[in-house]
Structures are given as structure tokens and as C-alpha cells.
Amino acid sequence: MPQNATRDLLDKRTAVYNKVRAFSDKTDRSAAESATLSTLLDELEGLNAAVEVGRRADEARSYMEEIDPEGRAPETRGGARPITTTPARAGYGLPLGAEGRMSDLASVTGFRPRPGDAGTFVRGMTTGGWRGASDELIELRALSEGTNSAGGFLVPTPLSTFLIDLARNKAQVIQAGARTIPMDSDTLKIPAVLSEPVPSWRQENSIIVEGEPTFGALTLNSKSLAVLVKASIEVLEDVPGMARTLEDIITNAFALEIDRTALYGTGVDPQPLGLYNTAGVEKVAAGANGAAPTWDLVVDRVAAVQGRNFDPTAILANGRSLTALAKAKDTAGNYLTPPAILDGIPRLGSAQIRANETQGTSGAVASSVFVGDFTNLAIGVRSEVKMYPLKERYLADAGQVGFVFVARLDVAVLRTGAFSVLTGVI
């Protein structure tokens, strides 16, 4: 929310407050005046919430402007908005802030990987060729040697967390604001607000009505996410830049599946439960049989989230929907300007958002648009990645080597009211 918008809200709140005081001072209010006072009080409550949202946004913006862009985590550069006002230290069980990285977790070596190091390690552990490897990588090799009798190599923590961070920075749900929570065990309980406190107006000397929030716990259970990569021995050994290419292939695959699962996970083992299928997440159809996306439909979803006192951090849709919105024109052929309420809310595209849903008689051509405060979407991640080389399986057939990489993670929606999904978009 722009700072001048916050100032406008403050001015409007002052004006409404003065009207409230004028009515409150009257001892002989008519029924019509009492009704007007009630309306003004409701308006004042909404303005108070809006001002608080604006204040937090201004604090976050001011904080981020003080940070050298090169010192920021990759997902906070460019148009993405910071999701916390202070960078959280990386710690198991604690959500990472905008500046947090999995690679900040304590390491026995203190080694900070560089781009290509993880790929070089994978190539070396698979082919035995360590050409170009740094002394630090050679030392890390000793941490994994001897573990393949169990069926795989445990990639050392510095390299594992480096790969996880690369995947995080490519996942659109992370760009949208989803929090990463490092896990140091198979399960982790995190606090959740199950119901909101309800304030009430009171007369002087009267009893205060209790409106306590209901707290609960959500349990993250680390589930295995695996990806298979194949490459020829010659490519691995001879092609320059293959180490970086390996990293890109692995992390792209993980990022895409994190996006898909965070949005559409079924919750049926071994899949986590994603946003779309979480009970209590609002879903509203664009039309009985589907409808083309319009700015009005998107604004309604943003307003619904704001009406529950959440500030949307992103709008996620597939490329088809975003393109249709971008091409919207008036009767004179001029492009329509997105409504001001959408200012500052990133609109992110993801190929993982389906375009084969059915709405009424639409056929399997509909899609969805996800709107929400994505800081209320948690992704629990174990800090270890395991690698299983498959030499014999592919070597004899095609002179190739296969690798299976296994990461462990889970997804949880912390507050369902923070989201609204527009379905039936065609």
C-alpha cells in the first residue's frame, strides 16, 4: 500500500472519528441518528484495520529500502514484497523471514557453497571425477563416503540447504510469500490460530464480553519428494558448465512440484494437503458454467481477503488467465487499467495452476486464481537431501548414469481465512 494511500486513510479515519464524537456527545439521539452512529462505528473499525495494514506495509517498505539489494535473498529482489519487517535468523522450527535462507542453518564445516558446487559434488560422487572441485568439496566428500551401503549418499548439509534455497527461489508460492520452516525431525508441531478473537462494545462499568481466540497446533510430517535425472557419462565428464546445469535441472523440478503440491496437494499419502483442498479455504466460482476473468472478479476476491483483515501478498494464476486480464480493453479499444485496490499486489504466473478443471458445463477447460496472504502458507522442509546413484540400471543400456534426489517436506495452511480462490475461470 503506497504511503500516500496510508495518509489518505488516516485523514478519512480522523473525519469519521470526529463525526462519531459529534453523535456520541448527544444524549437524546433519535433512532435515525443512532443508526447513523452504528454505521459510522463500523466504518471506523474498518478504517482502523486498514490503517494498521498500511502501517505494517510502510514499515516493511522502509526497512527493505535500507538494505543493499545485493544483500537480500533472491526472492525479495525486483517486484516481490518483503513478508516480514525484520529478517529472521534461520532456526529449526522457526519460519524463515524475507532475508532467511536454509543455508544459514548451522553447519559443522562453515562452508558456504558457490553456484556449481552442488553439481560438481553430484558428478564427483557418481563418476569419481573431481576435476575442478574446490578443497572444501573434497573435504565434504568424506562426510558422505561410506553411506551408499544404505542405498544412497546423504548430501552434506551445506550443499543440501543450498539446493533447497535454489528451489525455494524458483517456486512461485515462495515468491508469493509462503514461509519456509526448517525441520530437524520427521514431525514438527507449529502453532495455529483456529478462530479469531471477537471484540465487543461495552458501556462504562459493564462486564467485558470474552472473545478469546482459539489456539491449536498443526503438525508438519516430512514426506518424500523424489526426482530422477539421467545423463550420459560423456556429458557429465566432458561438457563445460554441466555442474550448473545439474543444479538447475534438480532445483527446477523440485520448485515446480512444490508449487503444484502447495496449491493442489490431495493430502492422501504420500502427498501433502494443498490450499485448494484444505477445508475452510474459500472457493467462489466465476460463473455457474465458468466465465472469462475480469478485474471485477479479482477485486472481489481481494476484497474478501481484506474483509477478513488479511493483506493479500500475491495473486497467483496461470499464464492464460493473466494474459486475458492484461489484454482487457474498453469499447474504444484502450487497455483497461487494473483497479487501484490491486496496486502493490504482485500478480504471479505459474504453469502448475491447472487449466483442465470443470465448472458446470464448461468442460475440462477451466482454471483458478489464488488470492491471499501467502505468509499463512507454511512449507516445512528437512535440511537433508539424499542422492541415489543408479549406475548399473542405465549404464549397460545407454551409457547413462541416473540420479534420484529425495527431499522431505510438508505443507500446512495456517489460517484459512487468509485465502480466497476464484474457480471456473475460462
The DSSP code sequence of 84-136 is: -SSPPPP-TTS---TT--GGGS--SS-----TTHHHHHHHHHHHS--TT--HH
User: Within this chain, do residues 239 and 133 fall inside the same structural domain, yes or no?
Assistant: yes
Residue 109 has pLDDT above 60, yes or no: no
With residue 190 as reference, give the H or E element that holds it.
strand 187-195
Three-class SS state of 185: coil
Look at 160-174, 270-284, 385-399 and tell me which has the smallest mean pLDDT.
385-399
C-alpha cell at 96: 524463515
CA distance 57 to 315: 17
Q: Where residue 215 falls among pLDDT bands split at 50, 70, 90?
A: confident
Three-class SS state of 227: strand
User: Within this chain, do residues 34 and 158 fall inside the same structural domain, yes or no?
Assistant: no
Q: Which residue has the higher pLDDT, 308 or 198?
A: 308
Closest among 86, 393, 339 to 230, alpha carbons compared: 393
User: Within this chain, do residues 146 and 277 fall inside the same structural domain, yes or no?
Assistant: yes
C-alpha cell at 15: 473525519
Residue 229: partners with Cβ closer than 8 Å, 6 or more residues away: 246, 249, 250, 253, 402, 403, 404, 405
User: Within this chain, do residues 57 and 114 fall inside the same structural domain, yes or no?
Assistant: no
pLDDT over 70 percentage in the chain:
81
Domain range enclosing 44: 3-66
Is position 45 within any domain? yes
Segment 364-377 shows an average pLDDT of 97
pTM, entire model: 0.73
Closest among 253, 225, 249 to 122, alpha carbons compared: 249
Is position 207 within any domain? no
C-alpha cell at 377: 502458507
Segment 267-294 shows an average pLDDT of 96
Q: Where residue 131 falls among pLDDT bands split at 50, 70, 90?
A: confident
pLDDT at 193 (0 to 100):
72
Strands 419-425 and 364-372: antiparallel
Is position 128 within any domain? yes
pLDDT tens digits for range 220-271: 999 999 999 888 888 887 787 888 898 999 999 999 999 999 999 999 999 9
pLDDT at 79 (0 to 100):
44
Is position 339 within any domain? yes
Q: Where residue 99 falls among pLDDT bands split at 50, 70, 90?
A: low
C-alpha cell at 47: 478504517
User: Within this chain, do residues 166 and 312 fall inside the same structural domain, yes or no?
Assistant: yes
User: Within this chain, do residues 10 and 159 fall inside the same structural domain, yes or no?
Assistant: no
User: Within this chain, do residues 36 and 90 fall inside the same structural domain, yes or no?
Assistant: no
C-alpha cell at 2: 503506497
Residue 348 has pLDDT above 60, yes or no: yes
CA distance 184 to 138: 26
User: Within this chain, do residues 89 and 54 fall inside the same structural domain, yes or no?
Assistant: no
Which of 66, 94, 120 finishes a domain?
A: 66
CA distance 187 to 411: 12
User: Within this chain, do residues 394 and 416 fall inside the same structural domain, yes or no?
Assistant: yes
User: Within this chain, do residues 346 and 390 fall inside the same structural domain, yes or no?
Assistant: yes
Spatial contact of 242 and 229, defined as CB atoms under 8 Å apart: no
Spatial contact of 40 and 75, defined as CB atoms under 8 Å apart: no
Which of 34, 66, 98 finishes a domain?
A: 66
Is position 210 within any domain? no
User: Within this chain, do residues 262 and 329 fall inside the same structural domain, yes or no?
Assistant: yes
Closest among 413, 420, 174, 176 to 298, alpha carbons compared: 420
Closest among 417, 406, 32 to 227, alpha carbons compared: 406
User: Within this chain, do residues 247 and 153 fall inside the same structural domain, yes or no?
Assistant: yes
Q: How many beta carbons lie within 10 A of that of residue 319, not counting itself?
A: 13
Residue bearing cell 481465512: 417
Spatial contact of 245 and 231, defined as CB atoms under 8 Å apart: no
Is position 214 within any domain? no
Which of 35, 66, 97 finishes a domain?
A: 66
Is position 205 within any domain? no
Three-class SS state of 212: coil
CA distance 297 to 290: 12
Average pLDDT, the chain: 83
Q: How many beta carbons lie within 10 A of that of residue 347, not counting itself?
A: 18
C-alpha cell at 304: 474478501
Is position 203 within any domain? no
Give the count of domains, the chain: 2
Three-class SS state of 281: coil
pLDDT at 67 (0 to 100):
40
pLDDT at 339 (0 to 100):
95
Q: Which residue has the higher pLDDT, 84 or 58?
A: 58
